[in-house]
Amino acid sequence: MGIDAYRWMMTEAGQPFQKEAFDPFPLAAGDVLVEIAGCGVCHTDLGYYYDGVRTNSALPLALGHEISGRVVATGDGAEDWTGAAVVVPAVMPCGECELCKKGRGSICRSQKMPGNDIQGGFASHIVVPANGLCRVDEGKLANAGLALADLSVVADAVTTPYQAVTRAGVKQGDVAIIIGVGGVGGYAAQINAAFGATVIAIDVDQAKLDALDGQGVALALNAREFEGRELKKRIQGFIKDNNLSPFEWFIFECSGTAAGQNTAFGLLTFGSTLCVVGFTMDKLELRLSNLMAFDARAMGNWGCVPELYGPAVDMVLDGRVKLAPFVEQHPLDSINDIFEAAHAHKLTKRAVLVPSHT
């Protein structure tokens, strides 16, 4: 079958993306060809492009790992996926190794991450394994008032904090503190609220805090307004005034900054769980003995295992997690301008790049 497929290639850090045609055929057994509806622009993509974070696959490479679309061709054994609307997991484990069998697919050493291990989603089409794809109920999608392209951000911005919240064990009545509420952090706030936690949001950007008004946040704090231990004292006062537990807070560091990580560590209290969700190459000095003294724990989180995608998508489609106010579609052909705007912090919503299929 003839398909005019193209992708925008990163040739070297900071240089303009270049558009090129490619032939996706033949498909290997178990693989599918997805016609991309949308691909979200993530902080990680900016790290590859601007900060020199190395991709596992050599350049040139199409970036992009937040992908939704429709299966338009299949390899042998994957025929049941023909025509399906899907979200492509940002991390696709092999499903067969020892780690996968232990339920640790997110650290599978044979995993495939679009835009890192394989060609990514800033393209018209992508070839991926059918194993692990998340099928989308298009009736529910329509009822939710969302386009399939909007769901692309589920593949990282929603599922990554969903896995972090699930693994941390957040439950009704807990206190969840989110540091950095743009993108991933905003969804972390909504997901924690959906799990029944009292959510405290912290950011240095007042507009990001304001955007979460009505999204389940009980207290929003601008970190620029506090010095030293004042921030923790303000939170402790809120906890006391609302008869919440002063212990066992869940702290989600989503800013991907050294300052955010320092703030997160400084908020540890007895029995706390610190979840590191954001990424930065920056380093900071910490006294790890605080973990011992508080009998606390620190957890990393890399992506999300495919088996958690279904429940995360359900949260979006039933309205417990709102996407529409936080995403904005742009033509894929404007990728160079959108990356520049994202890097300059000029975007107020997460950009979803939509390819032309004409």
Phi first, then psi: give them for residue 328, nearest 5 degrees: -145, 130
The encoded tokens of residue 328 equal 């904005």
Per-residue model confidence (pLDDT) at position 303: 92
Contact 60, 42 (CB under 8 A): no
Per-residue model confidence (pLDDT) at position 358: 64
Per-residue model confidence (pLDDT) at position 281: 85
Q: Is 187 left (phi over 0), alpha (psi -120 to 50) or beta?
A: alpha
5-156+304-354 placed in CATH 3.90.180.10? yes
Residue type, 6: Y
- All CATH 3.40.50.720 domain ranges of the chain, comma separated, are 160-300
Per-residue model confidence (pLDDT) at position 280: 87
| Average pLDDT over the chain, rounded to an integer | 96
Across 53-73, average pLDDT: 97
pLDDT at 52 over 90: no
CB atoms near residue 336 (< 10 Å): 13
pLDDT at 305 over 70: yes
Distance CA 251, CA 208 (A): 18
Distance CA 76, CA 346 (A): 45
Q: Would you say how long the chain is, in residues? A: 358
Please identify which residue in the block is written with the tokens 């009292």: 198
Phi first, then psi: give them for residue 140, nearest 5 degrees: -65, -35
240: Cα within 13 Å, side-chain hemisphere: 6
The encoded tokens of residue 246 equal 């002063």
pLDDT tens-digit map of 128-166: 999 999 999 999 999 999 999 999 999 999 999 999 999
Across 162-180, average pLDDT: 98
Q: 120, 52, 23, 130: which is closest to 86 by C-alpha?
A: 130
Residues 6+ apart with CB under 8 A from 337: none
pLDDT at 357 over 90: no
Cut 0.85: pTM above it: yes
Across 62-67, average pLDDT: 98
Per-residue model confidence (pLDDT) at position 323: 94
35: Cα within 13 Å, side-chain hemisphere: 13
Q: What is the homologous superfamily of the domain 160-300 according to CATH?
A: NAD(P)-binding Rossmann-like Domain (3.40.50.720)
The encoded tokens of residue 278 equal 């954001």
pLDDT tens-digit map of 255-301: 999 999 999 999 999 999 999 999 888 999 999 999 999 999 999 99
Q: Is 340 left (phi over 0), alpha (psi -120 to 50) or beta?
A: alpha
Alpha helices in the chain (DSSP H): 43-50, 98-101, 138-143, 159-168, 184-194, 206-211, 230-241, 258-266, 289-293, 309-317, 335-343
Across 53-79, average pLDDT: 97
